[in-house]
Amino acid sequence: MPTTTSLPPVGYIGLGIMGRPMAGHLLRAGYPLTVYNRTRAKAEPLVAEGAKLADSPKAVAEASEFIFTNVTDSPDLESVILGEPAAAAAHCSHKSAVIDGVRPGSIVIDNSTVAPATAKKIADALAKKDVFFLDAPVTGGEKGAIEATLAIMVGGDENAFQRALPLLQKMGKTILHMGPSGNGQMTKAINQILGALHLVAMAEAFALAQAAGLDLEKTRQIVASGAAGSWMLSNLAPRAFAGDFRPGFKAGLQNKDLRIALEAAAELGLDLPATRLARADFQRLVDMGCADEGTQAIVKTRWKR
């Protein structure tokens, strides 16, 4: 086991479904950890394990050489790091953001899923303070976060990536440097297109199985073992069959990610018709009041009750 004195101080901002277990791995690996969460109560389990509680993103940055963020969407991230007024988070507009406290040479590592353009904007702003920024979104779900088996796709400076790698290895198994700033988020957009289309395929295929009177679980077992298998079929279909719609990954977040993917494609002059269809399905699910349910709730747009 490494000693705490030999390891650099680390901060983690955003302790939701993903952030809390990811920060926990750093703490248990011996990194001195300072945490901040907008809703304070979610930070308490980590504080009970030995993390220090900060009262702002700025205070986390002042205390840390590596500063992780894991929040919801692009405006939230800009608010937390740059302190720009955002309707979603006016609480970070009074010089209490990461940029107000971060020291030259530090590395800010974002694990949220946001727009590639936002990652580039933040990287440029932090570079002016001689601070590195890595966009490092993840995939593998809540389970991957808890078990430290995430895939992490990283954009930004190669040397900063090498410095951050030992920390990322505490949270994930497959970790790749994808190129310059924004490339991590662009890779994640591609991941989210694949995941969403698999989910819609699952909902639609099993609508037919249901209408035809097939045994749903037997059907799942046989098709999941062949060429049509997917992570969604293996992990989320059983939950949908059981009527368990608790979130690992919230439907509202999947909807956000499809918006990000479509906007990124449009900026490159590309139309993605199947992704537009999947976005319409997830928007419908959100409009049905299911934004905080897990993505497996997509079956509600297709299945009979």
Residue labelled with tokens 């507009």:
93
Chain centroid to Cα 212, Å, comes to 37
- By Cβ distance, which residue is nearest to ligand NAP? 16
Shorter beta-carbon distance to ligand NAP: residue 9 or 16: 16
185 near ligand NAP, judged by CB under 6 A: no
Give me the sign of the Cα torsion angle 170, 171, 176, 181.
negative
On whether the CB atoms of residues 101 and 143 are closer than 8 A, the answer is: no
Min dist. Cβ of residue 210 to ligand NAP (A): 26
**Is 42 among the catalytic positions?**
no
Phi, psi (5° rounding) for residue 21? -65, -35
- For 241-291, the DSSP string reads HTT----SSBHHHHHHHHHHHHHHHHHTT---HHHHHHHHHHHHHHHTT-T
Min dist. Cβ of residue 18 to ligand NAP (A): 4
Give me the sign of the Cα torsion angle 71, 76, 78, 82.
negative
Min dist. Cβ of residue 126 to ligand NAP (A): 18
β-pairing, 132-135 vs 66-69, is unpaired
123-142 binders of ligand NAP (CB under 6 A): 138-139, 141-142
> Rounded to the nearest 5 degrees, what angle is found at the Cα of 279, between the Cα atoms of 278 and 282?
90
108 near ligand NAP, judged by CB under 6 A: no
Shorter beta-carbon distance to ligand NAP: residue 189 or 223: 189
Shorter beta-carbon distance to ligand NAP: residue 7 or 43: 43
Closest C-alpha to 64, from 112, 113, 111, 31: 31
β-partners of residue 176 are 153
Min dist. Cβ of residue 283 to ligand NAP (A): 16
Shorter beta-carbon distance to ligand NAP: residue 80 or 134: 80
Active site residue: 120, 121, 188, 250, which one?
188
By CB under 6 A, the count of residues binding ligand NAP is: 28
Min dist. Cβ of residue 104 to ligand NAP (A): 24
151 near ligand NAP, judged by CB under 6 A: no
116 near ligand NAP, judged by CB under 6 A: no
Please pick, from the candidates 34, 56, 113, 181, the single residue that binds ligand NAP as defined by CB under 6 A. Answer: 113
Q: How many CA atoms lie within 13 A of 151 on its CB side?
A: 10
Tally Cβ neighbours within 10 Å of residue 31: 25
Residue ranges that bind ligand NAP, judged by CB under 6 A: 14-19, 37-39, 42, 70-72, 76, 79-80, 88-89, 112-113, 138-139, 141-142, 248-249, 253, 257
Q: Which residue numbers are catalytic? A: 188
